[in-house]
A and B are shown apart, each in its own frame.
Chain A
Amino acid sequence: METMQRRLRESPVITSVVSVLLGMLVGAIMMIAAGYNPIQAYQALFMSAFLMPYDIGETIRTISPLILTGLAVGLAFRTGLFNIGVEGQFIIGQLAAVIVALKMDLPPVLHAVVAVLAGALGGALWAFLPGLLKATRGVHEVITTIMMNFIALYLANTLVRNWLSQGADSTETIPESASLRWDLLSQAFGNSRIHFGIFIALATALFMYYLLWKTTLGFELRAVGLNPHASEYAGMSVKRNLIMSMMISGLFAGLGGASELLGTSGYLAIHGSHTGIGFDGIAVALLGANSPLGIVFAAVLFGVLTYGGPVMQFEANVPTEVIRVVFAAIIFFVAANVVRWMMSKFGNKAVKKSD
């Protein structure tokens, strides 16, 4: 009884599932408070993603970048790093990909591959500085990466305005040769914008699993995250691992940005504020307990909610922003480990009663 209770209390799956339900409860309360019907709203929300092949395709398209940004945040978390900079690395991934797509002339497939790799490299390099500063000068990565997010945003904007276009608000559309779209795939899903990004995302999840649990580097990354002092004592270089972790995390984020640009939008526009996909990655990673499989499932849930939001607004009249509230509540419940607290309260009562 005791061990089963503890196992339940410490299982990340239980924590995540209960947190999601609590989060949706908060959303329902918000809806009732504003005079909407939560049952109708949630029905529209979840049904919308699976109505037609087109919707399924679009939902998968929404999920793909969330998997990648979630993996990016999750990998850094494993080494004890909080990479809030995934948003900025995502933008640099987009920027590097669009530069290769527009400025280089390569045959089909190869062009797309080079553009994707450029995005990944860009993301990794953008994460290098925060990693270096953390390793050499002990500067907290949260602050540097937040600053780097804004620098990335303005850098992309100035390059789009002054170099990639002649003073316009967005670049031209990328050539067919660099696109990640595939007509057969798109047609199979009712001409939606689904693209190769989902395969990149799933392959990256597999890669993260392999890296963390099947390689020496991965072992070191996790060891540093669990106990940097012990790792140092065991002869691992904590500094090197911190920098590596940030760069691999940035690489995942860059892949997300590149595939989103080459697959979904096809051009880079000037943005007044951040895309939000990088920040959503934080929620995805937390909910997925930083495990590759958990992150994929969490991204599916967040993707379904994100895609379903506008449909819910249309059908049940509930503003889409209630989804953001649900996300926020889920983050709170996972972070504060409210579930474990509830179980310990509940568990103690049960034990007392049986006495």
Chain B
Amino acid sequence: MGEAQKGLLSVIEKLKGTTEQEVRIVLLGLDNAGKTTLLKSLASEDVNTITPTQGFNIKSVASHGMKLNVWDIGGQRKIRPFWKKYLEKTDLLIYVIDSADKKRFEETGLELSELIDEENLKGVPVLIFANKQDLATASPASEIAEGLNLHTYRDREWQIQACSAVSGEGVQDGMNWICNNIVNKKKKK
């Protein structure tokens, strides 16, 4: 029965009949990491009127001939238990870190490692944005990568990208990595 249901949903998925390749991306990270700012920056929207996200935001971005559906889910502690409801059928995880918030590096590392262990994210590529590089107190991406033990990730593609969602610096580099990676992955399929 369960199999049949899944099948039906996949049928409906095909009903849309769009020729464009769609990619589902989930954008996660601690509160105040800059997820929504990054999302708006991706969608070329105003980043000056952003308030803490209580729910989630969705933006569709066309890039490299693909439609990227990016889901930005609030990072406040009380919302984090809801994260796993949004991981199904995810093609890529973007994890955002406030590079200047050294006090919470451990907390953000724990959240990331929990996500990595999620069944729905098995083998899903991860892009880590070391955000807020415009701040003088920001740690370099290499330091953060070491702190997160990224080099131990063997089951998936990963990339850490220094960026500033406010200025837009580094964001496009990250998106390029995503598109190249997705294209490769989908081709393999």
On whether the two chains bind one another, the answer is: no
Task: Enumerate chain A interface residues (CB-CB to B < 8 A).
Answer: none
